[in-house]
Structure 1
Amino acid sequence: MAQRKDIDGSVSVPTFYGKELRWKREAAGMSLEAFLKGSFYGKTYLSDIERGERRMPIELARHADQVLGTDGYFERHCEDVRRARRTGHAEYYEKALEAERYANAIEVWAPTVFPGLLQTSHYARAVVRATHPLSLDEEVEEKVSARVARAHLFEQDHRTPSYWAILHESLITDAILPPSEMAEQLNRIVELAARRRIITQIMLRKGGPHPFMSGTGMIMTFPDAPPLFYTESLHSGDTIDDPALVAQYRRSYDLLRAVALSPEASLAMIRTAAEDYLNGEQPDRLE
């Protein structure tokens, strides 16, 4: 039997928290499976928490306090762990950022900007500078590097999630970059689709009313945890885990997917638009 690897609790707040959880669980003589009985989480999820690789959801912290008799310890310190955030990302995105690394499927509605996982460095830089006009160059580059680094998900076959993005037509026709850089951004999407890493659909302006006319949306599903829905506005975001609400968002997303263009037609339009930008032309509409 392989020797169990100890956890260095001095590395970070999450690893300290995770080490304490494993110590309490093992002191109670409970296996991962026994500890999780009555929860909606899998043992891989719990093991990741104990190693400090994932944050503990508040409902699982309450479950830990109940089964271990720890008098609210894990619920009280759950917020401290959540605040131990990584640099380069907004605090409100932390839960979704961590979740995307473990998702089986990610489905996105992008009405105003390309999703972060699909952005080139030029596009990310333009968005960050527009959103944070007073930020110093080094602060901008930190955010850009952190955003672009997330795309490593598409390079790891064993961890690559199923990724579906519905993009509004205006993202392609209303350029925020010079033509050559817009072509690069669109060709990034074409390249990912060609490698079977993503599926894209376009929602045309003339598509009429649809369920997601207000707000962005991202649904994430997991092999060992309940699904999440994330929505974002200018300087805030909300990660929703209530099963009934997530189910409503799921129905709305499925209706949106039904009225968007097919993946094949959408990809052909993106490819044509990229060629237009390379030729110094800007497409007015995708018809």
Structure 2
Amino acid sequence: MANMQTLDPNASPLDYYGWELRRLREAAHLKQGQLGDIIFCTGSLIGQIETTKKVPTRDFSERVDAALGTDGLFSRLVGLVLRSQLPTWFQPYADMETKATYISTFQAQLVHGLLQTEEYARAVLAVNHHDKIDEVTAARMERQRIFQGANPPALWVVLSEAALFQEVGGPDLMRRQLAYLLEFHDHPWVQIQVLPFTAGQHTGMIGSFNLLRFEDDPDLFYVDSYDQGHMTANPQVIKERTVGYARLQATALSPEDSAALIARVMEERYGNQP
């Protein structure tokens, strides 16, 4: 890891953030402990972020902006920093996701990342990223900010019933995750359909996938695997997957019936445990 003497602001978004934090803190004639007192954290944390040993959070960044009067600089930088914590192979897709006007996805086993609670995301990511779980969880939560913009994308999710029964993090966590899904029932830009077990064979049996649509760019198909992602704008692939997704939508339960099933599983499987 870099130290205060060797930090290169051109090395990465995290290095640039740390370099700017140190530069502007010193310009304000504040020691690390003094800035920490102002923003309610330790001087040690300030030092760790300045030397890239810790990844800043959005809350930290907003507090620093207020304390140093930096006009939202760190609040803007933190988005780049958190995105840089995503797996390298996933970052191109994450960039395109922020530009999409319409996202349609089939999820075969897990709740889609844009609809995960923080504790569900942490439990899922801890399986393969236990050494940097705080960073990758924060990065996943940052992706969800696309719904907070002035022009959020429309998101249509077809979720296999298996995802409702795949217990992640224990029954209490799952109950809260399913309750969170129900909060989207009246959301103007989010639709959730559950593909029931009774559907039998279906066009999503190849696995989870995403389709992205843009205002001025070609549609994209994306699928990921253990250590890489595949994204293509090949017209034939887009045509086949679009038709396949339409069949999934037609086979899945309606949004209303899907919400009823989610509520039933939430109560019967993850309700009051003996």
TM-score (norm 2): 0.67
**Residue in 1 that maps onto 2:211:** 219
Q: 2:93 aligns with which of 76, 92, 96?
A: 96
Amino acid paired to 1:140: I
- After superposition, the C-alpha distances for 1:169-198 in whole angstroms (9 at most, x for unaligned) are 111123122222111111221112323331
**Residue in 2 that maps onto 1:260:** 252
Instruction: Indicate whether 1:126 and 2:123 are aligned.
Output: yes
- After superposition, the C-alpha distances for 1:77-120 in whole angstroms (9 at most, x for unaligned) are xxxxxxx9942211221121011111110000000111111111
Instruction: Indicate whether 1:146 and 2:139 are aligned.
Output: yes
- After superposition, the C-alpha distances for 1:226-276 in whole angstroms (9 at most, x for unaligned) are 110101122221111112211111111111111111111001111233334
Q: 1:115 aligns with which of 112, 116, 119?
A: 112
- After superposition, the C-alpha distances for 1:1-53 in whole angstroms (9 at most, x for unaligned) are xxxxxxxxx97899xxxxxxxxxxxxxxxxxxxxxxxxxxxxxxxxxxxxxxx
**Residue in 2 that maps onto 1:185:** 177
| CA RMSD of superposed structures (Å) | 2.4
2:82/2:138 contact within 8 Å kept: no
Instruction: Indicate whether 1:175 and 2:167 are aligned.
Output: yes
Alignment CA distance shift 1:188-1:85 (3 Å): closer
Partner secondary structure for residue 201 of structure 1: strand
User: Identity of paired residues, percent?
Assistant: 28
Q: Distance in 1 between matches of 2:126 and 2:160?
A: 22
1:228/1:241 contact within 8 Å kept: yes
Q: Which runs of no fewer than 5 residues in structure 2 stay unpaired?
A: 1-8, 14-80
Q: Distance in 2 between matches of 1:145 and 1:247?
A: 35
**Residue in 2 that maps onto 1:45:** none
Alignment CA distance shift 1:244-1:13 (3 Å): farther
Amino acid paired to 1:183: R
- After superposition, the C-alpha distances for 1:142-181 in whole angstroms (9 at most, x for unaligned) are 000100111112222x221110001111111231222221
- Residue 281 of structure 1: CA displacement? 4.9
Amino acid paired to 2:112: P
Amino acid paired to 1:165: V
Q: 1:231 aligns with which of 199, 215, 223?
A: 223
Partner secondary structure for residue 181 of structure 2: helix
Alignment CA distance shift 1:274-1:194 (3 Å): farther
Q: Distance in 2 between matches of 1:223 and 1:172?
A: 33
Q: Distance in 1 between matches of 2:10 and 2:257?
A: 49
Moved over 4 A (4+): 10-14
Q: Distance in 1 between matches of 2:196 and 2:120?
A: 22
Instruction: Indicate whether 1:245 and 2:237 are aligned.
Output: yes
Q: Distance in 2 between matches of 1:85 and 1:120?
A: 17
Q: Distance in 2 between matches of 1:259 and 1:272?
A: 20
Q: Which runs of no fewer than 5 residues in structure 1 stay unpaired?
A: 1-9, 15-83, 283-287
Q: Distance in 2 between matches of 1:218 and 1:92?
A: 15
The aligned runs of 1:25-174 (5 Å cut-off) are 86-132=83-129, 135-136=130-131, 139-156=132-149, 158-174=150-166
